[in-house]
Structure 1
Amino acid sequence: MEDILKVKDLSVALKTQDGISRILDKITFNLKKGETLGVVGESGCGKSMLASAIIGLISDPLKVDDGSVLFEGEELIGLPEKRLREYRGKKIAMIFQDPMTSLNPIMKCGKQLVETILAHEKVSKKDAIARSLDLISQVGLDNPKEIYNKIPAQLSGGQRQRIVIAMALCCSPDLIICDEPTTALDVVIQKQILILIKKLVRESGASCIFISHDMGVVANMADNVMVMYAGQVVEYADIKSVFRSPAHPYSKALQASLPQNVEEKERLNEMKGSVPMLDNLPAGCLFEPRCPMADWRCSTNRPELKNVHGHYRRCFKKPEELTV
């Protein structure tokens, strides 16, 4: 199947008084039409920054200082803002983690959907209203006319996120980027929203980048998974390969921390330490200070991302040498 998105060596730098720090370091991946890529890692690993870089939402003091983002054959890096706005919403849509920051708090939800449609498509206002009501129904909200006339504060968190999903689908985008879309919701609503997103993405035929800190969620949403740590890709393969045989200590630690991998009445597995600060990166492998399998090579050298039969990994150890 044809690639809809090709990201190659994408790097984002932060300019400070002390110099330049790399937030994203040569990120490379391809996304096919109709495919879902899961991007997983802890907070501070660069997942949301990757999404922002793809859709051109990087500004000073941040800068895309290297790499390429090809979407449907057109280079997005360096495009004028006016041209990028033609992509955002129409060709590429984004679902953010907090619906309250995605919606205008004083405008009726229905009107926000209508304005999104009218901004990108040449249709009458009457048709835009009809489509908005249909979208409200599609995302599982009862009484579409009543919801249409409410402002975000009059809706629950789950209802607001459904409106954000409806807004993302307004113009039938080819790519939907979901940036931790259930983080601000309670567990029951999270499951409902995840089922809804998976269903709507499948029915629309759109490609999807699904960002999460939860390996369990990604396992149920994605075809392929890219594990990020401190701005680097440390593992990238199809979802079954990564879950059956994780080939990087960080991936293995994330998987081991899932509740379903812990016996009843046992303590949850925890990963000690935290993601390193940009101004205090280890000299060698970025995961070395937290890795129980690190040796002398890891503290002095940075491993490259290597492709072994379609399974990319950044580690000196052989996969069979890794232990939990």
Structure 2
Amino acid sequence: MKKTLIALAAVAATGAAFAQSSVTIYGKVDVSLEKANGSSAAVGDPHGSRLGFRGTEDLGGGLQAKFQLEHRFRPDTGTDAGFTPASADGKTPAVATFWNGMSTVGLAGSFGEIRLGRYYSANFLGANNKPDPFGGDGQGALRGVGMQTTTLAGFIRTANIIHYSGSFSGVNVAVSTGLKEGAAKAQNSLAVGYANGPLDVGVGTEKGVAGTLTNAYAIYDLGVAKLAFGLGNAKTAAGAKTKGLLLGATIPAGPGKVLVGFARAKNDTTTTNQKLGLGYYYPLSKRTAVEFTYGRDSKAVVKGTNKKVGGLDLTLHHNF
């Protein structure tokens, strides 16, 4: 009996010590039937299936310690989403970024939040990804054309990052830098936005190894529709310039929503790329939904011909 009481006391003490800590397991599993622009039909994962862990510890005085780890995977094959097979000649080994969603630890308080590790750039979260009704995913996605202007698609996550974000009376500020650690340049990014009621506007910029990307957006919720406008301006390290434009709308329709938008990218010579995106998102429950998207890209053609072609996908989402 005495040993039992001691054990119970130890458990109670442990519970008290960690009463202000929490760890959450979360994730998403998406599988789609898709036919990408100019490609054959396939089973895919256009929306980024993931398994994540996040935790918070109350340090007192309004200060919290936080961590977040997120693994991306492909449910159609079971492989790591970032896995690159070894070359046939065996000279290049297989590689993967296991925590390819993010891997951060940091501190948060009234001053905002600081994250260290691998995380999204300030511009990506603060401006680049904002106006696309499709969130940059699926065949209808417009972000890659209108905001990243098809030239700097790698400006999403940054390794070796120091990322700060804060919100003050509707003004949102974010700054990030990815330290060099052998790279030719650091990856520096900044975004500033203002959100109040139906209006959300902001600008952001990022400069690094790939070049410089600048974005601006404006979103207004009319109730009957949420309208979005975005601009992209890119300059590669080699000096190639491209300008992008994005127009989008999210329209409530019954329990679901209609997604529609148009994007254009034009470089500093004569090349223009235009894309139309259409979609419908229908929730089956709070955690499960089906989504259909269609995209028609002016640069997508049937292989070996000049025939224009569109892409489509039908996705089953489940969040946990």
Larger Rg: 2
Name the structure, 1 or 2, with higher relative contact order (CA <8 Å, separation 6+): 1
Do these two structures clear the TM 0.5 threshold for a shared fold by scoring above it? no
Q: Which has the higher helix share?
A: 1
